[in-house]
Chains A and B, each alone.
Chain A
Amino acid sequence: MEQIQKINKAAKKRKRKENLTAYSFIAPNFLGFAIFTLGPIIFAIILSFYKWDGSNPMEFIGFDNFTRMWGDSRVQAAFINTIVFVIGTVPLTLIFSLFLAVLLNKKIKGRNIFRTVSFFPYVASLVAVAAVWNMIFSPVNGPINEILKTLGMMDPPRWAADKNWAMVTIIFFSVWKQIGYYMVIFLAGLQGISEEMYEASELDGANSWQKFRNVTLPQLRPVTFFVMMMLTINSFKVYDQVYMITQGGPGTSTLVLVYEIYNTAFKNWDLGYSSAISMLLFVLVLLVTVFQFKGEKGFVNE
């Protein structure tokens, strides 16, 4: 009896030691996370119930910041615009990057050059390319509109200068900019599909569409799920493209949530209200992500 207890104790001790070692390895990472991410997040949640300008004493105001959002036309515009951006960007990027990946997975001549070309926008500096886009899409004598005019379009869109087209311009830009990155992820996924499956389907007489439909797509499901998750979360965080191309304009037609969060925090110094808007974004992303995880079952390989 005593013997057994002793052995138990020794085992416990060893286990404890092992655990401590493990925790000490995790600690640096976790500490960094706690100080630079978790701490600020908790602080932001608390802050959303306060009125604070960063200097004067904080003042508890309950749910005032949240009720204020209901009547705030700028926040409403930002909310709608963010959702429009996500709905526009996610499917387009997904389809085009998958299409590119399948195309560039074929053994064609100069494949590496094409891959580099499609990846290039992702590597290029956003500030520089946005400036170039603004010139190309300039409503007055920009090349795109000149081409449209010679093709017989009398009244081409005014792109970033038109409140109905500004968001479209930003969606186009974002899709073009990030397509290369997701293409690479899809390429990796494609390379993981074994040749044998294609050979087997060929023996069954499948044409290339059927092969894509019945072999490639199901095999890519986990990758597609990952891409969609990352893409959705990243799209909700849209800020830099808007800042570079339209600064939220014309009017509020491209104002997005992160842009408004920045504005209220560092232009108006209304840190409590800005935290409350962040919570809105947080809940929005959380809901969408939970929804996607629920739908994941349909994505995972059988």
Chain B
Amino acid sequence: MKKFKKSFVLTLFAVVLGIVVLAGCGNSGSSSSSSSESGSSSSGKTKITWALWDIDSSTYYKPLIKAFEKENPNIDVEMLDLGSTDYMTVLGTQLSGGDNNIDVASIKDMPGYASLVSKNQLEPLSKLAKNVDLDSYGGLVYQIKVNKEFYALPFRNDIYVMYYNKDLFDAAGVDYPKNGITWDEYNTLVQEVSKKATKAKGSQVYGGHYHTWRSQVQLYGILNGKNTLVSDDYSFLQPYYETVLAQQKAGYVQDYSALKTSSLSYSAAFYQNNVATMVMGSWFIPTLETAMSSGQSEKFNWGIATMPVPKGVDDGTTAGTITSLAINANSKKKKAAYKFVEFVTGKKGASIIAKTGTMPAIQTTDVIESIASTDGFPSDAASKEALSVKKTYLELPYSKNVAEVDTILNDAHDNIMSGNASIKDELKNASDQVKALK
């Protein structure tokens, strides 16, 4: 009896183990068997799937696809919304299983890009894109290169600019910020407009606004081109933290901890008509235009100036965030996928994206013209001029450990801004942690 029991349990265990193992291998097995179909549907059309986020709130997806399908009638593009909050995590998980349903994927940030590259889940593009003029992206592609190879092409490049509330400046009797002001001039401006506008309005006006992202402070440190945020010595960030903390202490800007615990979004903060200036990405332009016309924001006149730069940095330098397109290394329709990537990241794609008020990666004078002529864009010449940049630095450069560095920097920012650690100690701590990464 006992023997039987034992053997039964053993068999059962073997069966279960077998199932588990088979399930584990199932992915690679099934993907190779279905390769004969090569994805073309019965009608002779190839259907490719584009992984992205926020279908509803992004206005350029549909026009892009429509224009592309018109040019390539035998390719259908389908969108797959993975949500914006955890986009890169969800995408990473999807592709990990050897998924070949996704052909083209939007790449949201550098840590996500780096991990997909190191996992060999993105198709190298240097051969496919050998006819593409990489210089047209203003040096951005060089910043995402991994050992001479690159795995994505940018289609959006959101530069940082300073949004300002003209009404508050008028009330304070302070001149509008000019293009090309330095970080120190900006600091003075924040204090001046904060004091004068608060007095004139009789209610609290904040001269500036730093959202809770670490980039809001740390980006100023990299604009001189000498430092990057993957570093083993972060002491170069100290002056910027000192300035921002002083502004916060004096009440010229809103308190970091309060912003964080209330999860107040930067857009909602700007809509309240008590923030005079805010440095934010150009993705905020279409959002702000819509919010003004829909009444989501309080009504006021606004303008755009360039992002303040440290002394000695050339005019026209700014920080930027790119959104790029990559091809799934496991895709069965790479040719069609590349055609789409080439279209979206190329000149035609750029002009379609620009028409919706969004900054494409290729920024020609036509593109700037097109963004400045969207409904609700400030009518003054200086605002339009602020959009022309010469040099863009990416928030994070490519590095093998960029995901870990990102976490370390976030912690440091959080500790410093909430007043839980001294700037010097915390930056030293972050430097040591990055040094310890292998």
Q: What is the interface of chain A, defined by CB distance below 8 A to chain B?
A: 12, 15-16, 19, 23, 27, 30-31, 34-35, 38-39, 43, 53-56, 71, 73-74, 131, 134-135, 137-142, 158-163, 248-253, 263, 266-269
- Beyond A73-B433, A250-B420, A263-B407, is A161–B8 a contact (Cβ under 8 Å)? no
Query: Min CB distance, B186 to chain A, in Å?
Result: 24
Measured in the bound complex, the distance between the Cα atoms of B261 and A180 in whole Å is: 26
- Beyond A55-B96, A163-B415, A269-B403, is A158–B257 a contact (Cβ under 8 Å)? yes
Q: Is the CB of A161 within 8 A of B119?
A: no
Question: Which of B17, B19, B403, B414 meets A268, CB within 8 Å?
Answer: B403
Residues of A within 8 Å of B5, CB to CB, are 19
Measured in the bound complex, the distance between the Cα atoms of B418 and A263 in whole Å is: 22
Residues of B within 8 Å of A266, CB to CB, are 89, 92-93
- 18 residue pairs bridging A and B, Cβ less than 8 Å apart: A12-B1, A35-B16, A54-B92, A54-B119, A55-B120, A55-B121, A56-B120, A71-B436, A131-B263, A135-B262, A158-B418, A162-B420, A163-B415, A250-B418, A251-B412, A251-B414, A267-B403, A269-B92
- Beyond A34-B20, A35-B16, A138-B262, is A161–B257 a contact (Cβ under 8 Å)? yes
Measured in the bound complex, the distance between the Cα atoms of B92 and A153 in whole Å is: 49
Interface of B is mostly: helix
Measured in the bound complex, the distance between the Cα atoms of B257 and A162 in whole Å is: 9
Q: What is the interface of chain B, defined by CB distance below 8 A to chain A?
A: 1, 4-5, 8, 12, 16-17, 19-20, 23, 89, 92-93, 95-96, 111, 115, 118-121, 255, 257-258, 260-263, 403-404, 407, 411-412, 414-415, 418, 420-421, 426, 433, 436
Residues of A within 8 Å of B414, CB to CB, are 249-251
Residues of B within 8 Å of A39, CB to CB, are 16-17, 20
Measured in the bound complex, the distance between the Cα atoms of B17 and A35 in whole Å is: 8
**A142 to B, closest residue via Cβ:** B261
Q: Is the CB of A138 within 8 A of B23?
A: no
- Given A15-B1, A141-B258, 15 more A-B residue pairs with CB atoms under 8 Å apart are A39-B16, A53-B119, A55-B119, A71-B436, A138-B262, A139-B261, A158-B418, A161-B257, A161-B261, A249-B411, A249-B418, A251-B415, A253-B420, A268-B407, A269-B119
**B19 to A, closest residue via Cβ:** A35
**A26 to B, closest residue via Cβ:** B12
**A77 to B, closest residue via Cβ:** B411
